[in-house]
C-alpha cells in the first residue's frame, strides 16, 4: 500500500472521527455498529436526524463531507418498522470514513424531520422515500413527486414488501394528477427543453424561464422511465445475477456500477478479493473512464461547432473501444466484475496490446488537447459559461468532474481507496473556476492520469487467482460499495437476505447528486448555452427531439428541431 493510502486508511484517523461523533451525541445515540472496514452505523431517534447530520456534514474542520446516499427500507418483516440511513462520507484525502446515520420509523407515524433545509443535497433522497415507501419528510421545501408517474395512485408504495414486483395498479391521468411545475417568475416566459436522455437512462423535461435569451430560473421533471431495477434485484435474482443487471444501469458507467455493487456485497459478507483481480478491476475501470471522457470532450466540441475536435476525439475513443472489445468480448457491458473478483484474466499478449494502445493514445490525446485548447472559439464558448460555485457544489453534494471543476477536492479512488488504487500513484485534478471550460480541463487531465494508472497497474500486477470462493453471505448484513465512475462517485447499498438474495438494494448514480445543482449553473446564461451546460455535466442524454421557444417580449411561439437548436448554439460560437 502506498504511503498516501496508508495515511488515509489509518485506524487512528478513523477512530478520531468516530469518537468525536460519539462524544458529541452520547445522549442521543442508541447504538453504534462497525458494519465494514470503513463504515459505521449510528442509530439515533428520528427527531435528532437534522442535528446529528447537520453537525457532521457542516463540520468546519472536516474536509469535503458529503451526503453520499440515503436509503429507505421496509424492515417491517424484520423489526416491525421502516428504516432510514443517511450515509455521510469524509473526503478530501483526510480520512476513509462512512457514517450511516440510521433511524426507525413506525407505520403508524411515518413522518420524520426533513434534513433538506440544512443540507439541500438531501432533497431528492427524501422525496424518493416519500414516493416509494410513504415516509413523509416534514418541513421539506419541495414535497412534489420525484420518482412516481403523475398518474400513479395515492397510497400505493412500490418499495414496500407487500407490493409485488409484478403488481400494476390502475392508473388514471386527470387534470388533478398533472405535475405541479413552479409558476414562472414575473415577466418571464417558458422555454420547454426536452425530452432528452440523462444518465439515469430516462427522458427528462426542463422548463427554462427566460427573458429574451437570458435564463432567469429553471424547473424540471425527470424519472419518466424509472425501471424498478432495485425491486427486481430484491425479488427475482441471486447475488451473482444482480451483478449483470447492475452493469446495465448505465451505458457508460457499467463497470463502475457492477464494481460498486460487488464491493458492497463483499463488504457485507467479508469476502476477500484476490490482489490480481483488484488490479484487473482497476484497469477496466480506467478504460471505461478513458472512453467516457473522450466521448464528453468530443461532444463539447460538437456543441460549440468545432467538429474537427469532435471527430478527432471520437477517432481516439474508437481505439479504446476496440481495446475493451479485445479484452472482454464487448465494446460495452464487459461482464468482467463478479462478487469475489473478475471473470477473465489478462494473458501476457493482452498486456502488450494494452501498453501499445495507451502509448499511442497518450501521444494522440496530447495533440488533440494542444489543438483544442489553442482554438480561441472553443475556449471563449466554454469560459465563464455555466458557472457552479464551490458553495453550491458542496451544498448539493455534487460529485465528479462537475464538482472538481468547482473546486471540490473529492475523488473516491483516493479518499476511499478501493480495488488496486491504494497501490498506485495518481493526481486528482481540481479547478476553481466552476465553468464549462474547467470541467473540460478536469476531464482532459484525468485522461492522462488514467493512462498513467493503467501503466502502473500493468507493471505491478501480481500473479495468482482472479476469483475468491464464497458460498453464502450471512443474512441482514448492511454495507455500501463505492466507486469513482467517469461522472463521479457511484454508491450501492445492500442489506443481504436469506438464500443468497438481497433484502434491500439501493443504487445511487453520480448524476443523481449532480442534477439538482444544474439550475444554479444555468441561471444568468443564454438559451444558446443551455445545451453546452447540460453536456458539461455529462448526463449521457439522447438527442433533443423538439424545443418550443416562447419569446417573452413578442409572445411569439415557434418550435425548434434538434438541428435548429444546435445551429443556435453554433451561431453563439461564431459571435465570440
Topology of domain 1-145, CATH:
Beta Polymerase; domain 2 (3.30.460)
Q: Percentage helix, strand, coil, to 5, in the chain?
A: 45, 20, 35
**pLDDT confidence of residue 224:** 74
Mean pLDDT for the chain?
Answer: 90
Rounded mean pLDDT, 427-441: 97
- Omega into 195 within 30° of 0, i.e. cis? yes
229-514: CATH topology is Cytochrome-c3 Hydrogenase; chain B (1.10.645)
Report whether pLDDT(324) > 50.
yes
Whether residue 551 is predicted with pLDDT greater than 70 in this model: the reply is no
Q: Give the residue-averaged pLDDT of 354-379.
A: 95
The alpha carbon torsion through 524, 144, 102, 79 (nearest 10 deg) reads: -160
**What's the pLDDT score for residue 207?**
87
Residue 460 binned pLDDT confidence (cut-offs 50, 70, 90): very high
Dist CA 352 CA 358 (whole Å): 10
Q: Where are the beta strands (DSSP E) in 155-258?
A: 189-198, 202-211, 214-221
pLDDT at 59: 94
Contact indicator for 40, 99 with CB cutoff of 8 Å: yes
Output DSSP code: residue 158: T
Is 474 buried (19+), middle (13-18) or exposed (0-12) by CB count in 10 A? exposed
How large is the average pLDDT for residues 412-419? Answer: 96
Start and end residues for every CATH 3.30.460.80 domain found in the chain: 1-145
What pLDDT, on the 0 to 100 scale, is given for residue 151? 87
For 215-236, what is each residue's pLDDT tens digit?
Answer: 999 998 888 766 778 888 887 8
Dist CA 467 CA 503 (whole Å): 25
- The CA R_g of the chain, rounded to the nearest whole Å, is 23
pLDDT of residue 8 exceeding 80 = yes
Per-residue pLDDT tens for 185-194?
Answer: 888 998 887 7
The string of pLDDT tens digits covering residues 25-42 is 999 999 999 999 999 999
pLDDT digit string (tens) for 108-144? 999 999 999 999 999 999 999 999 999 999 999 999 9
> Above 90 in pLDDT, residue 570?
no
Q: Where in the chain is the domain with CATH 1.10.645.10?
A: 229-514
Can you tell me which residue has the cell 459478507? 269
Using DSSP bridges, classify how beta strands 97-105 and 66-75 pair: parallel, antiparallel or unpaired.
unpaired
Please give the average per-residue pLDDT across 84-90, as a whole number. 97
Locate 170 and state its grid cell. 390502475
- Average pLDDT, stretch 537-556? 44
Amino acid at each position: 500500500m502506498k504511503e498516501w493510502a496508508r495515511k488515509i486508511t489509518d485506524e487512528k484517523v478513523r477512530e478520531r472521527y468516530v469518537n468525536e461523533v460519539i462524544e458529541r451525541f452520547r445522549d442521543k445515540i442508541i447504538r453504534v455498529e462497525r458494519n465494514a472496514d470503513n463504515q459505521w452505523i449510528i442509530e439515533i431517534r428520528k427527531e435528532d436526524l437534522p442535528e446529528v447530520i447537520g453537525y457532521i456534514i457542516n463540520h468546519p474542520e472536516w474536509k469535503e463531507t458529503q451526503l453520499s446516499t440515503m436509503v429507505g427500507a421496509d424492515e417491517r418483516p424484520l423489526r416491525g418498522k421502516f428504516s432510514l440511513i443517511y450515509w455521510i462520507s469524509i473526503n478530501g484525502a483526510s480520512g476513509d470514513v462512512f457514517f450511516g446515520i440510521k433511524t426507525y420509523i413506525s407505520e403508524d407515524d411515518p413522518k420524520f424531520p426533513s434534513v433538506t433545509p440544512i443540507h439541500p443535497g438531501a432533497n431528492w433522497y427524501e422525496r424518493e422515500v416519500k414516493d416509494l415507501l410513504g415516509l413523509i419528510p416534514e418541513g421539506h421545501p419541495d414535497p412534489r413527486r420525484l420518482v412516481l408517474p403523475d398518474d400513479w395512485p395515492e397510497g400505493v408504495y412500490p418499495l414496500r414488501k407487500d407490493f409485488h414486483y409484478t403488481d400494476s395498479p390502475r392508473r388514471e391521468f386527470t387534470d388533478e394528477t398533472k405535475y405541479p411545475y413552479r409558476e414562472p417568475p414575473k415577466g418571464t416566459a417558458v422555454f420547454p427543453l426536452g425530452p432528452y436522455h440523462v444518465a439515469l437512462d430516462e427522458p427528462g423535461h426542463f422548463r427554462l424561464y427566460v427573458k429574451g435569451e437570458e435564463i432567469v430560473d429553471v424547473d424540471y421533471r425527470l424519472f419518466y422511465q424509472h425501471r424498478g431495477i432495485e425491486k427486481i434485484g430484491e425479488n427475482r435474482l441471486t447475488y451473482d445475477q444482480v451483478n449483470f443487471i447492475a452493469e446495465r444501469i448505465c451505458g457508460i458507467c457499467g463497470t463502475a456500477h457492477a464494481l460498486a455493487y460487488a464491493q458492497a456485497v463483499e463488504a457485507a459478507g467479508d469476502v476477500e478479493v484476490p490482489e490480481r483481480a483488484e488490479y484487473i478491476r482497476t484497469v477496466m475501470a480506467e478504460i471505461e473512464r478513458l472512453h467516457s471522457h473522450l466521448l464528453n470532450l468530443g461532444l463539447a466540441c460538437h456543441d460549440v461547432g468545432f467538429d474537427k475536435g469532435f471527430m478527432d476525439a471520437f477517432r481516439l475513443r474508437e481505439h479504446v473501444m476496440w481495446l475493451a472489445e479485445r479484452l472482454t468480448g464487448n465494446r460495452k457491458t464487459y461482464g468482467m466484475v463478479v462478487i469475489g473478483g473478475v471473470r477473465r484474466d489478462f494473458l501476457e499478449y493482452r498486456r502488450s496490446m494494452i501498453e501499445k494502445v495507451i502509448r499511442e493514445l497518450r501521444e494522440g490525446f496530447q495533440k488533440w488537447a494542444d489543438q483544442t485548447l489553442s482554438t480561441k472559439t472553443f475556449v471563449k464558448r466554454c469560459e465563464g459559461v455555466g458557472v457552479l460555485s464551490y458553495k453550491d457544489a458542496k451544498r448539493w453534494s455534487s460529485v465528479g468532474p462537475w464538482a472538481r471543476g468547482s473546486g471540490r477536492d473529492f475523488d473516491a479512488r483516493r479518499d476511499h481507496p478501493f480495488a488496486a488504487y491504494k497501490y498506485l500513484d495518481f493526481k486528482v485534478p481540481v479547478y476553481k473556476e466552476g465553468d464549462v471550460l474547467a470541467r473540460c480541463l478536469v476531464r482532459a487531465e484525468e485522461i492522462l492520469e488514467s493512462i498513467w494508472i493503467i501503466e502502473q497497474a500493468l507493471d505491478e500486477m501480481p500473479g495468482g487467482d482472479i476469483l475468491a470462493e464464497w458460498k453464502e453471505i450471512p443474512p441482514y448484513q448492511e454495507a455500501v460499495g463505492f466507486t469513482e465512475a467517469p461522472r463521479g462517485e457511484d454508491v450501492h447499498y445492500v442489506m443481504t437476505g436469506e438464500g443468497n438474495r438481497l433484502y434491500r438494494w439501493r443504487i445511487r448514480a453520480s448524476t443523481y447528486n449532480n442534477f439538482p445543482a444544474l439550475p444554479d449553473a444555468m441561471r444568468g446564461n443564454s438559451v444558446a448555452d443551455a445545451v453546452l451546460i447540460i453536456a458539461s455535466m455529462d448526463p449521457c442524454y439522447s438527442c433533443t427531439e423538439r424545443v418550443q421557444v416562447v419569446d417573452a417580449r413578442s409572445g411569439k411561439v415557434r418550435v425548434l428541431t434538434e438541428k435548429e437548436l444546435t445551429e443556435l448554439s453554433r451561431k453563439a460560437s461564431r459571435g465570440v
